[in-house]
Protein backbone atom coordinates (compact mmCIF):
# COMPACT_ATOMS: atom_id res chain seq x y z
CA UNK A 1 0.00 0.00 0.00
CA UNK A 2 2.79 2.39 0.86
CA UNK A 3 4.36 1.58 -2.45
CA UNK A 4 1.13 2.38 -4.28
CA UNK A 5 0.89 5.70 -2.45
CA UNK A 6 4.45 6.47 -3.42
CA UNK A 7 3.35 5.91 -7.00
CA UNK A 8 0.69 8.57 -6.91
CA UNK A 9 3.07 11.21 -8.31
CA UNK A 10 3.87 8.79 -11.13
CA UNK A 11 0.26 8.43 -12.06
CA UNK A 12 -0.49 12.13 -11.72
CA UNK A 13 2.62 13.77 -13.07
CA UNK A 14 4.31 11.10 -15.08
CA UNK A 15 7.20 10.66 -12.69
CA UNK A 16 8.24 7.58 -10.80
CA UNK A 17 10.05 7.35 -7.49
CA UNK A 18 13.41 5.70 -7.73
CA UNK A 19 12.61 3.33 -4.88
CA UNK A 20 15.52 0.86 -4.74
CA UNK A 21 13.39 -1.90 -3.19
CA UNK A 22 10.80 -1.65 -5.97
CA UNK A 23 13.52 -1.60 -8.62
CA UNK A 24 15.14 -4.73 -7.14
CA UNK A 25 11.83 -6.60 -7.19
CA UNK A 26 11.15 -5.34 -10.68
CA UNK A 27 14.49 -6.68 -11.85
CA UNK A 28 13.59 -10.24 -10.78
CA UNK A 29 10.18 -9.94 -12.44
CA UNK A 30 11.74 -8.54 -15.61
CA UNK A 31 14.25 -11.37 -15.79
CA UNK A 32 11.55 -14.00 -15.39
CA UNK A 33 8.86 -12.41 -17.54
CA UNK A 34 10.36 -10.10 -20.15
CA UNK A 35 14.05 -10.84 -20.67
CA UNK A 36 13.32 -13.84 -22.91
CA UNK A 37 11.96 -11.51 -25.59
CA UNK A 38 13.45 -8.09 -24.80
CA UNK A 39 16.89 -9.32 -23.78
CA UNK A 40 18.60 -9.43 -20.37
CA UNK A 41 19.97 -5.90 -20.93
CA UNK A 42 16.70 -4.51 -22.41
CA UNK A 43 18.36 -4.18 -25.79
CA UNK A 44 15.98 -6.46 -27.60
CA UNK A 45 15.82 -9.94 -29.05
CA UNK A 46 12.64 -11.36 -30.42
CA UNK A 47 10.91 -8.27 -29.01
CA UNK A 48 12.04 -4.67 -29.61
CA UNK A 49 14.93 -2.85 -27.93
CA UNK A 50 13.32 -0.98 -25.04
CA UNK A 51 15.84 1.87 -25.28
CA UNK A 52 14.38 2.61 -28.73
CA UNK A 53 10.78 2.60 -27.59
CA UNK A 54 9.27 6.06 -27.39
CA UNK A 55 6.75 4.77 -24.90
CA UNK A 56 9.48 3.55 -22.56
CA UNK A 57 11.98 6.35 -22.96
CA UNK A 58 9.69 9.31 -23.39
CA UNK A 59 6.00 8.69 -22.76
CA UNK A 60 3.99 8.91 -19.54
CA UNK A 61 4.41 5.89 -17.21
CA UNK A 62 0.72 5.01 -17.29
CA UNK A 63 0.93 4.21 -21.02
CA UNK A 64 3.69 1.72 -20.32
CA UNK A 65 1.71 0.30 -17.39
CA UNK A 66 -1.40 -0.10 -19.48
CA UNK A 67 0.55 -1.83 -22.26
CA UNK A 68 1.74 -4.39 -19.69
CA UNK A 69 -1.74 -4.97 -18.32
CA UNK A 70 -3.57 -4.98 -21.66
CA UNK A 71 -0.92 -6.20 -24.09
CA UNK A 72 -0.93 -5.30 -27.77
CA UNK A 73 -3.51 -7.23 -29.80
CA UNK A 74 -2.28 -9.63 -32.46
CA UNK A 75 1.35 -9.48 -31.36
CA UNK A 76 3.46 -11.56 -29.05
CA UNK A 77 3.21 -8.75 -26.53
CA UNK A 78 0.47 -10.40 -24.50
CA UNK A 79 -1.23 -8.95 -21.39
CA UNK A 80 0.54 -9.84 -18.13
CA UNK A 81 -1.81 -11.00 -15.43
CA UNK A 82 0.29 -9.83 -12.49
CA UNK A 83 -0.81 -7.73 -9.50
CA UNK A 84 -0.70 -4.00 -10.30
CA UNK A 85 2.06 -3.46 -7.76
CA UNK A 86 4.30 -5.92 -9.59
CA UNK A 87 3.61 -4.32 -12.95
CA UNK A 88 4.67 -0.97 -11.48
CA UNK A 89 7.81 -2.62 -10.12
CA UNK A 90 8.65 -3.74 -13.65
CA UNK A 91 8.08 -0.20 -14.91
CA UNK A 92 10.33 1.15 -12.13
CA UNK A 93 13.07 -1.33 -13.02
CA UNK A 94 12.94 -0.60 -16.78
CA UNK A 95 12.98 3.16 -16.07
CA UNK A 96 16.01 2.80 -13.81
CA UNK A 97 17.86 1.98 -17.05
CA UNK A 98 16.04 3.99 -19.70
CA UNK A 99 15.43 7.11 -17.55
CA UNK A 100 18.39 7.06 -15.19
CA UNK A 101 17.86 10.70 -14.22
CA UNK A 102 14.55 10.13 -12.45
CA UNK A 103 14.71 10.82 -8.76
CA UNK A 104 13.85 13.51 -6.28
CA UNK A 105 14.46 17.04 -7.61
CA UNK A 106 17.90 18.43 -6.87
CA UNK A 107 17.79 21.15 -4.19
CA UNK A 108 18.62 24.64 -5.38
CA UNK A 109 17.12 27.85 -6.73
CA UNK A 110 15.81 26.89 -10.17
CA UNK A 111 15.14 30.45 -11.35
CA UNK A 112 18.65 31.51 -10.34
CA UNK A 113 19.97 28.41 -12.16
CA UNK A 114 18.19 29.43 -15.34
CA UNK A 115 19.80 32.85 -15.03
CA UNK A 116 23.24 31.20 -14.78
CA UNK A 117 22.37 29.14 -17.86
CA UNK A 118 21.73 32.33 -19.86
CA UNK A 119 24.65 34.30 -18.43
CA UNK A 120 27.22 31.54 -18.94
CA UNK A 121 26.27 31.26 -22.62
CA UNK A 122 24.99 27.68 -22.40
CA UNK A 123 22.00 28.43 -24.62
CA UNK A 124 24.35 29.40 -27.43
CA UNK A 125 25.06 25.68 -27.91
CA UNK A 126 22.10 23.96 -26.24
CA UNK A 127 18.35 24.01 -26.78
CA UNK A 128 16.05 24.09 -23.80
CA UNK A 129 12.31 24.22 -24.54
CA UNK A 130 12.84 24.79 -28.25
CA UNK A 131 15.22 27.76 -28.01
CA UNK A 132 18.99 27.70 -28.31
CA UNK A 133 21.93 26.45 -30.37
CA UNK A 134 22.51 23.04 -31.90
CA UNK A 135 26.21 22.39 -31.46
CA UNK A 136 25.53 20.49 -28.23
CA UNK A 137 22.66 18.12 -27.36
CA UNK A 138 19.16 19.38 -26.65
CA UNK A 139 18.86 19.55 -22.85
CA UNK A 140 15.05 19.74 -22.64
CA UNK A 141 14.81 16.13 -21.36
CA UNK A 142 18.10 16.06 -19.50
CA UNK A 143 16.43 15.42 -16.13
CA UNK A 144 15.08 12.11 -17.46
CA UNK A 145 18.22 11.07 -19.23
CA UNK A 146 20.90 11.88 -16.69
CA UNK A 147 21.34 11.62 -12.92
CA UNK A 148 22.23 14.87 -11.12
CA UNK A 149 25.81 13.82 -10.46
CA UNK A 150 26.44 13.24 -14.14
CA UNK A 151 24.89 16.58 -15.05
CA UNK A 152 27.33 18.23 -12.67
CA UNK A 153 30.26 16.33 -14.13
CA UNK A 154 29.23 17.20 -17.72
CA UNK A 155 29.47 20.87 -16.76
CA UNK A 156 32.76 20.93 -14.88
CA UNK A 157 34.52 18.26 -16.91
CA UNK A 158 32.88 17.95 -20.35
CA UNK A 159 35.54 15.63 -21.77
CA UNK A 160 35.03 12.96 -19.08
CA UNK A 161 32.25 11.41 -21.16
CA UNK A 162 31.16 12.52 -24.62
CA UNK A 163 27.45 12.45 -25.49
CA UNK A 164 26.53 9.85 -28.12
CA UNK A 165 26.66 11.35 -31.61
CA UNK A 166 28.70 14.38 -30.47
CA UNK A 167 32.28 13.25 -30.76
CA UNK A 168 34.56 15.90 -32.11
CA UNK A 169 36.32 15.29 -35.42
CA UNK A 170 38.74 17.08 -37.65
CA UNK A 171 38.47 16.29 -41.34
CA UNK A 172 41.17 17.18 -43.83
CA UNK A 173 39.96 17.52 -47.39
CA UNK A 174 41.96 16.59 -50.50
CA UNK A 175 42.14 20.30 -51.26
CA UNK A 176 44.19 20.73 -48.06
CA UNK A 177 41.41 22.58 -46.32
CA UNK A 178 40.43 21.26 -42.89
CA UNK A 179 37.20 21.39 -40.97
CA UNK A 180 36.23 20.73 -37.36
CA UNK A 181 32.92 19.89 -35.77
CA UNK A 182 30.91 16.99 -34.45
CA UNK A 183 30.40 13.85 -36.49
CA UNK A 184 26.61 13.61 -36.36
CA UNK A 185 26.32 10.66 -38.69
CA UNK A 186 28.15 8.71 -41.34
CA UNK A 187 27.45 5.99 -43.84
CA UNK A 188 29.35 4.18 -46.57
CA UNK A 189 29.46 7.27 -48.77
CA UNK A 190 29.63 10.37 -46.67
CA UNK A 191 30.30 12.04 -43.34
CA UNK A 192 27.72 14.41 -41.93
CA UNK A 193 29.57 16.99 -39.87
CA UNK A 194 27.99 19.73 -37.79
CA UNK A 195 30.53 22.52 -38.04
CA UNK A 196 31.40 24.82 -35.19
CA UNK A 197 29.51 27.64 -36.91
CA UNK A 198 26.31 25.58 -36.61
CA UNK A 199 26.07 24.66 -40.32
CA UNK A 200 25.97 21.08 -41.59
CA UNK A 201 28.52 19.82 -44.10
CA UNK A 202 28.09 16.62 -46.08
CA UNK A 203 31.48 15.32 -47.12
CA UNK A 204 31.95 12.50 -49.64
CA UNK A 205 34.49 9.90 -48.59
CA UNK A 206 36.31 10.66 -51.83
CA UNK A 207 36.68 14.32 -50.85
CA UNK A 208 38.29 13.58 -47.48
CA UNK A 209 41.92 12.66 -47.14
CA UNK A 210 41.98 12.25 -43.37
CA UNK A 211 39.52 12.02 -40.53
CA UNK A 212 40.73 12.33 -36.94
CA UNK A 213 38.49 11.63 -33.99
CA UNK A 214 39.39 13.94 -31.14
CA UNK A 215 39.06 12.69 -27.57
CA UNK A 216 38.09 16.01 -26.02
CA UNK A 217 34.64 17.59 -25.97
CA UNK A 218 33.82 20.66 -28.07
CA UNK A 219 32.24 22.07 -24.95
CA UNK A 220 34.53 24.37 -23.00
CA UNK A 221 34.89 23.44 -19.31
CA UNK A 222 32.82 25.82 -17.22
CA UNK A 223 34.91 27.73 -14.75
CA UNK A 224 34.28 30.73 -12.53
CA UNK A 225 30.93 29.62 -11.12
CA UNK A 226 30.56 29.69 -7.34
CA UNK A 227 29.48 26.39 -5.70
CA UNK A 228 26.05 27.95 -5.20
CA UNK A 229 25.70 28.99 -8.85
CA UNK A 230 26.73 25.50 -9.95
CA UNK A 231 24.20 23.92 -7.58
CA UNK A 232 21.43 26.16 -8.93
CA UNK A 233 22.42 25.40 -12.52
CA UNK A 234 22.27 21.64 -11.85
CA UNK A 235 18.89 22.10 -10.11
CA UNK A 236 17.56 23.96 -13.17
CA UNK A 237 18.84 21.35 -15.64
CA UNK A 238 17.57 18.43 -13.55
CA UNK A 239 14.04 19.91 -13.78
CA UNK A 240 14.14 19.67 -17.58
CA UNK A 241 11.93 16.64 -18.09
CA UNK A 242 10.17 17.20 -21.39
CA UNK A 243 9.04 13.92 -22.95
CA UNK A 244 11.68 12.60 -25.32
CA UNK A 245 9.99 12.81 -28.69
CA UNK A 246 12.87 13.31 -31.03
CA UNK A 247 15.56 10.69 -31.17
CA UNK A 248 19.20 11.35 -31.96
CA UNK A 249 20.14 10.51 -35.52
CA UNK A 250 21.93 7.41 -34.29
CA UNK A 251 18.64 5.90 -33.14
CA UNK A 252 16.51 3.63 -35.28
CA UNK A 253 13.07 2.71 -34.10
CA UNK A 254 13.98 -1.00 -34.57
Return residues touching ligand HEC (CB under 6 A): 33-34, 36-38, 46-48, 50, 53-56, 64, 67-68, 72, 75-77, 80, 90, 94, 117, 120-122, 124-126, 135-137, 139, 142, 151, 154-155, 158, 162-163, 166, 182, 217-220, 222, 233
Tally the residues of the chain.
254
The least CB distance from residue 30 to ligand HEC, in Å, is 6
Per the CB < 8 A criterion, the answer to whether 127 and 140 are in contact is yes
Sign of the CA dihedral running 123, 127, 133, 134: positive
What CA–CA distances, in Å, run from 237 to 39, 69, 110?
A: 32, 34, 8
The least CB distance from residue 175 to ligand HEC, in Å, is 26
The least CB distance from residue 209 to ligand HEC, in Å, is 25
- 93 phi, psi to nearest 5 deg: -65, -45
Q: Which is nearer to ligand HEC, 10 or 135 (CB)?
A: 135
Q: Which is nearer to ligand HEC, 40 or 124 (CB)?
A: 124
Q: Which of 220, 225, 179, 221 is nearest to 200 (CA)?
A: 179
The least CB distance from residue 108 to ligand HEC, in Å, is 13
Q: How far apart are CA 21 and CA 238, in angstroms?
A: 23
Q: Which is nearer to ligand HEC, 20 or 124 (CB)?
A: 124
The least CB distance from residue 188 to ligand HEC, in Å, is 25
Amino acid sequence: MRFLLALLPAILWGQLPSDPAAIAKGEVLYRNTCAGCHGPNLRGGEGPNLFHSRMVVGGPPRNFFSLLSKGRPNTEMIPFRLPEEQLWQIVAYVYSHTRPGLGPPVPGDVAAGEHVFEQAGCRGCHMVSGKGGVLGPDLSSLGLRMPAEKIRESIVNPSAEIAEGYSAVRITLRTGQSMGGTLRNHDNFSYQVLRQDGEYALIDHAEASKIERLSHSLMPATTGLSPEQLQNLVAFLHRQRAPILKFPVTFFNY
